[in-house]
């Protein structure tokens, strides 16, 4: 009898016709179920904290792809543009005048003129005082000589102790004192004249300085603060 062979899927056992023994029932063999494919890690190069950070970023951004280096170093923020330096304040008029060459030249000339006027004044005052000293010394010499001559004249006539001599001596002294006072007054007028000349020179120079300031103010209009 021919040998019956079961199909590849198993089934009932076949009877061996040669030996008359049954091979017995065998459990059917089934192919193993294939395992589901493992999804590839979308962040294979990230560490666990970096991966979690990337996932959180995707969740928070609605699933958009994270930009930049997630979990990596970030570029520093750009430095703010520097603010423009404030404009320096304008100098005062007097400070500005220190840089005006024309005005400084005028001031130097006026100062020299004033110094010369003061020197001349002082020299003339000194000369007047010296003249007064010399003139009063001469006056005193003449007064003493005149008094002696007057006394000798009256004494020679035996009138040295008379009232006539006393009257003559009083008149002589009065006239001499008047001459002395005239000398002093003349010296005082000289001194006053020198003082007046110096005052006039100073006033004239001050007026010229003010005029120089006005001219400088015109040249530097808008370059300083304050008034002239």
Q: Using CA atoms, how far apart are residues 190 and 188, in angstroms rounded to an integer?
A: 5
Amino acid 82: pLDDT? 83
Q: Please compute the mean of the pLDDT values over residues 129-143 and round it to a whole number.
A: 97
Amino acid 41: pLDDT? 54
pLDDT digits (tens, 9 = 90+) for 172-198: 999 999 999 999 999 999 999 999 999
Whole-number percent of the chain with pLDDT over 90: 51
Q: Which residue has the higher pLDDT, 19 or 194?
A: 194
Residue 156, both tokens: 């020679």
The residues that bridge with 15 in the sheet, in sequence order, are 22
Mean pLDDT of the chain: 79
Amino acid 51: pLDDT? 57
Residue 2 — very low, low, confident or very high, per pLDDT cuts 50/70/90? very low
Q: Which residue has the higher pLDDT, 128 or 37?
A: 128
Residue 19 — very low, low, confident or very high, per pLDDT cuts 50/70/90? very low
Name the H helices within 43-162.
Answer: 48-60, 93-97, 101-156
Report which secondary-structure segment, H or E, holds 210: helix 163-219
| pLDDT over threshold 70, residue 215 | yes
The single-letter DSSP state of residue 228 is -
Cα-based angle 194, 178, 181 (whole degrees, multiple of 5): 25
The residue written with tokens 């006393």 in the block is: 166
pLDDT digits (tens, 9 = 90+) for 156-166: 999 999 999 99
Give whole-number Cα distances, 170 to 19, 20, 175, in Å: 204, 204, 9
CA dihedral 54, 59, 65, 69 (to 10 degrees): -30
Residue 23 — very low, low, confident or very high, per pLDDT cuts 50/70/90? very low
pLDDT digits (tens, 9 = 90+) for 43-58: 455 445 555 665 566 5
Residue 22, both tokens: 């049954």
Residue 60, both tokens: 């928070």
Amino acid 24: pLDDT? 47
Most confident residue range from 19-28, 29-38, 72-81, 137-146: 137-146
| pLDDT over threshold 50, residue 33 | yes
Q: Please compute the mean of the pLDDT values over residues 21-27 and round it to a whole number.
A: 46
Amino acid 58: pLDDT? 59
Radius of gyration of the chain (CA): 67
The residue written with tokens 């040295």 in the block is: 160
């Amino acid at each position: 009898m021919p040998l019956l062979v079961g199909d590849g899927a198993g089934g009932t056992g076949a009877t061996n016709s040669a030996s008359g023994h049954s091979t017995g029932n065998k459990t059917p063999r089934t192919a193993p179920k294939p395992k589901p494919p493992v999804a590839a890690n979308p962040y294979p190069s990230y560490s666990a904290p970096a991966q979690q950070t990337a996932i959180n970023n995707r969740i928070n951004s609605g699933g958009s792809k994270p930009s930049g280096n997630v979990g990596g170093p970030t570029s520093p923020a750009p430095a703010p543009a520097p603010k423009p330096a404030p404009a320096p304040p304008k100098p005062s008029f007097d400070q500005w005048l220190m840089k005006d060459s024309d005005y400084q030249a005028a001031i130097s000339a006026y100062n020299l003129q004033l110094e010369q006027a003061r020197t001349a004044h002082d020299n003339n005052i000194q000369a007047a005082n010296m003249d007064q000293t010399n003139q009063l010394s001469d006056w005193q010499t003449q007064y003493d000589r005149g008094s002696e001559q007057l006394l000798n004249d009256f004494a020679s006539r035996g009138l040295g102790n008379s009232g006539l001599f006393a009257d003559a001596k009083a008149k002589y002294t009065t006239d001499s004192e008047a001459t002395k006072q005239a000398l002093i007054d003349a010296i005082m007028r000289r001194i006053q004249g020198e003082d007046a000349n110096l005052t006039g020179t100073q006033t004239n120079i001050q007026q010229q300085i003010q005029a120089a300031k006005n001219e400088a103010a015109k040249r530097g209009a808008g370059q300083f603060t304050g008034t002239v």
